[in-house]
Structure 1
């Protein structure tokens, strides 16, 4: 393809209770809630975006929290692990920190020269913290719960589970990703210059049951497009190749198209702009429920349908460097 992605934009998962979700990601993992809105396709459900200070593409894990939804099943045909990037010397600190928070972790493993610590969130979503040996230059969000020297820098990678790799690998090549190596049944592909935030692993597990997307699983994985013109060209090329792609959808903070890779995982291509400060100041991100213009007339009805959600005050704190 003539268009190539520079890396991950965000990962969206399905959670359970929104208050528990916010408490875990803000206080245990130390991320910032950069937008409190609703699922535009299901306005009775929150859409919570967690990331760095401003919610830059490549730092975002987002949730549709549905308290009454059934538990999902992790398996093939979905993204099965979402990994965050942390400083190389911080894995041991994180293991102790998560243990203090009552979170069970796996052993610290080394994979492709990177230290990896696996765990699950309160709804069972599979997560990992990965320390890249070349480091990660992205600035962390410092809300006081996780020291800045150990804090998450953004997304590291996602792992997709498939029963057969050829067609998935071919599509990633068409999206501009490069095959970067293989370790047993795990294949790694990188976007752009590679490194944290620009990697996807494809885990090949023939005979593994297909996953069920519900609470505790990933709904979709989004890749970056620099602008709407590039996204439109990308969509045209995908359609020409016989891929079923949605129309371009206005998500208020970016524009999106959706399609499935051959292994079954739902993918999205999302634009970098306009970003999360389009409807509220940077200092106030995530504090209030924001609705797009076409849902604003239904605000009263929507607010009545949503569970109560209290946002911790440190979500809008000024960090120790004096930056807001």
Structure 2
């Protein structure tokens, strides 16, 4: 049976060095790939995740230093939520004090909410019994407190019904609960990135893409065949056509705008991040797609200094 759920989340950052420091040092994630935006090779594309860069752990960024701040509103991914051991809530509360961390409860779960240096909304959710799960041990965050991939994302939409229908019909989610204006969908048996919350907020201003906002949300497909079947269902059952398939080197993708205007991607689990460098050295070197390799010198000269 194929694993479903969230593959990755891609957001917009400002300064590349600041972004790199926050996610690898403050949050203790592994930089699993350092490449460029394939459509804008003058900008980095950073991928952060667990030790192997597993689907369901990957948060990626386009650092555009001069990007204007985004505006929160309808039609965006509002919050990205990571999993941590329940016993680590106190550790992370102290660690994130400078980020304005707040403690709250949603769907009966204890969570810490905060923002990254560019204003992106993040949360850590304490979960009992995950202490033995694999965690990245190569950061300054003690391994017993380390992040264990995604728990969920929250989308702010004018209406949620049509988006919920796609989650259930195409991506294998089921509605599991409602709280106020939020409906929760989850993939049975999926621990990493298996939850999507849809919040209905009719009447709000539309979101404006920019620094600190999410560019797109990607869902998992095991391989090309499953991806194409998902695309077929989208067209046949929901009248939505995807883009042509794009080769992103580490996965292959199609994109579409869901009914609430959030950009969705379907990304294959294969081939993974170890396709062009050893697993033990992930993120160590600047990797370029073959069609840009001949321009390496010019690209490296134009990229921001990470020193």
Do Structure 1 and Structure 2 share a fold, with TM-score over 0.5? yes
In structure 1, what is the equivalent of residue 276 of structure 2?
Answer: 279
In structure 2, what is the equivalent of residue 67 of structure 1?
Answer: 65
Aligned match of 1:148 in 114, 125, 143?
143
CA distance in 2, matches of 1:13, 1:222: 11
CA distance in 2, matches of 1:132, 1:204: 26
Give the TM-score of the pair, scaled to structure 2.
0.95
Contact 1:276–1:285 at 8 Å: present in 2 too? yes
Q: CA deviation at 1:113?
A: 2.5
In structure 2, what is the equivalent of residue 294 of structure 1?
Answer: 291
In structure 1, what is the equivalent of residue 100 of structure 2?
Answer: 104
Shift >3 Å, 4+ stretches: 133-138
Give the TM-score of the pair, scaled to structure 1.
0.91
CA distance in 2, matches of 1:292, 1:195: 32
Tell me the alpha carbon deviations over residues 127-152 of structure 1, each in whole angstroms, 9 at most, x when there is no partner: 00001345376411112411111110
Q: Secondary structure at the match of 2:92?
A: helix
Q: CA deviation at 1:244?
A: 2.4
CA distance in 1, matches of 2:41, 2:275: 20
Contact 2:175–2:186 at 8 Å: present in 1 too? yes
In structure 2, what is the equivalent of residue 186 of structure 1?
Answer: 182
CA distance in 1, matches of 2:222, 2:164: 23
In structure 2, what is the equivalent of residue 115 of structure 1?
Answer: 110
Contact 2:74–2:158 at 8 Å: present in 1 too? yes
C-alpha RMSD over aligned residues: 1.5
Equivalent pairs counted in the alignment come to 305
Structure 1, unaligned runs of 5 or more = 311-324
After superposition, residues 166-181 of structure 1 pair within 5 angstroms as 166-175=161-170, 176-181=172-177
CA distance in 1, matches of 2:232, 2:112: 40
- Most deviating of 7-16 and 159-168: 159-168
In structure 1, what is the equivalent of residue 260 of structure 2?
Answer: 263
Q: Secondary structure at the match of 2:11?
A: strand
CA distance in 2, matches of 1:11, 1:136: 24
Contact 1:138–1:154 at 8 Å: present in 2 too? no
Indicate how the Cα distance of structure 1 residues 262 and 134 shifts in structure 2: closer, same or farther if over 3 A, else same.
Answer: farther
Q: Secondary structure at the match of 1:149?
A: helix
Contact 2:156–2:198 at 8 Å: present in 1 too? yes
